[in-house]
Amino acid sequence: MKVADLYVRVSTDELADKGYSQRNQEEVLRRYCDLNGIVINSVVYEDHSAKSFNRPAWSKLLAEIRKKKNKSLLVLFTKWDRFSRNAGDAYQMINLLRSFGAEPQAIEQPLDLSIPENKMMLAIYLAAPEVENDRRALNILHGMRRARKEGRYMCKAPIGYINKSTESGKKYIAPYEPAASIMVWVFEELAKGQYAVEAIWKESLKKGLQIKRNPFWYAIRNPVYCGKILVSNYKDEKAFHATGLHQPLITESLFYEVQDVLDGKKKTYRAHLAELDIFQLRGFLLCPRCGKLLTASASKGRTIRYHYYHCTSQCGTRFKSENANELFGGLLRTYVPRPAAIETYAKVITSYYTTLYKNSKNDVSGIRKELENVNTRLSKARDLLLNSDIEPEEYKDIKKDCDRRLQLLEAKLIENSTSTPLNIVPLLQQAIKGLSHLDEVYFNGDIRRKRQVIGSMFPEKLVFDGFTYRTARLNSAVELIYRLGKGLTENKKGENSAETEISCCVDLYGFEP
């Protein structure tokens, strides 16, 4: 009496749980065994693809057949596509089963493999499913490329977006808060180049962004945030960026600025965020002896820890962080501007912004000239290549550099052409409020806010000798406000003074007789 193992396979878990294919295959196989007097040894259920034989249930079945080697067994399935969809692997597996004394057979496509002519039919039965798979995969590939070219994002929505569907069933991605706002903040901070990527990632986690390190690096390289979708190269088609149908979170110019920072093309100082509030001056102090940058650390005492700013060289310079921070706070209080200076500053900023917006319109012509220059450079490089004056590799490097420059210039051109004047009154009022209470903003702020205040006021490093801070160069705007504050003093009687020091800020061009 013949003994058979029934092999029932579907492609996915969903079909196994909700579909009828698996139960129907088992019913058909059991009826066949009853009609032909075949004893059923076991029923094996599989929910993996037949592209290869790397399937858990099949591996267990093959191990059992190997144990019963040289015993007459049948491995029954409904059709040959249930057995395999790869002709090459199928032939190898058939030979392996027959060496173990087992005979594979499809009950709806029966073949007597001892007859040589039947091997031609076997080739057709095995090749047809493989051709079907290949055709389906090719259709899906072409469909996805067409969708990307039309601006549709076809994958799982990146962080800051969410997958949605319209009433007609068309899928799209839309911004998802608060992750979208956090990602905008991430790109803005990266473009400044003040902090390392690792520090910005950790700060984004504190803000509520749920993303691991490697996906974060992939996200900040993804052009989908500026409204572009990458269409990869295929055959003769070169890779390019299509304009997406989704809403961008950032501008193209900001995205390419971030890419320049990540590629090291934009020289910036990247300081790591200090882990303790006591070290807010780390990265801003220079050693008064050797001129090297001071770092910070804590020394463990018997009961408490002592915090120091110290030099990394052999000079041995170190200062208590509490003393340095307290003296810096006193220095900062001297730069709180007077109300009259702030009013003047507001007027100057408003006037300057109006002039700046007018100048941005003039910048469009400059960008167009630069575009022409880049295109001319690319054209010359192409001529040199045709004349064999440069190697193909040199031309590829030039073209890659020119293409990147063209993308950035085109993004700036679009941004300047479509930009509208921004209402800066709310921003200006917020800035004025911060300037009026500069010391409170610093002392009541967290470590990040303190470092922002220090970095914005002092573009160069500070030198601390343990007692005082040497006079450091101020930010131009801060210096102007401070001078205005000196000039706009009031007399004791409440009358405005006719003489001020504002004129000292003006360059002398000579004097008239």
247-259 pLDDT per residue, tens: 999 998 899 889 8
Confidence label for 489 from pLDDT (cuts 50, 70 and 90): very low
What domains can be seen in the chain, in order of their start residue? 3-140 (3.40.50.1390), 173-263 (3.90.1750.20), 285-333 (no CATH)
Q: Is the pLDDT of residue 495 over 50?
A: no
> Which of the 8 DSSP states describes residue 499?
-
Whether the pLDDT of residue 268 is over 70: the answer is no
Mean pLDDT across 459-482:
73
Has residue 365 got a pLDDT over 80? no
Q: What is the pLDDT of residues 16-31, one digit of tens each?
A: 554 557 888 889 999 9
Q: How confident is the model at residue 502 (pLDDT cuts 50, 70, 90)?
A: very low
pLDDT mean across residues, the chain: 79
pLDDT over 90 for what percent of the chain?
17
CB 38 within 8 A of CB 2: yes
Averaged over 38-43, what is the pLDDT?
Answer: 90
Express each pLDDT in 77-127 by its tens digit. 999 988 988 888 888 999 898 888 888 999 988 988 888 888 888 888 888
The pLDDT confidence band at residue 273, using thresholds 50, 70 and 90, is very low
Of 58-62, 128-132, 301-305, give the range with the top mean pLDDT.
58-62
pTM of the complete model:
0.50
Q: Which long-range contacts (CB under 8 A, 24 or more apart) does 195-203 make?
A: 195/270, 195/271, 195/272, 195/273, 196/270, 196/271, 196/272, 197/262, 198/272, 199/272, 199/273, 202/273, 203/273, 203/448
44-53, 216-225, 262-271, range with greatest mean pLDDT: 216-225
The pLDDT of residue 233 is 86
Residue 75 has pLDDT above 50, yes or no: yes
CA separation for the pair 378, 396 (Å, rounded): 10
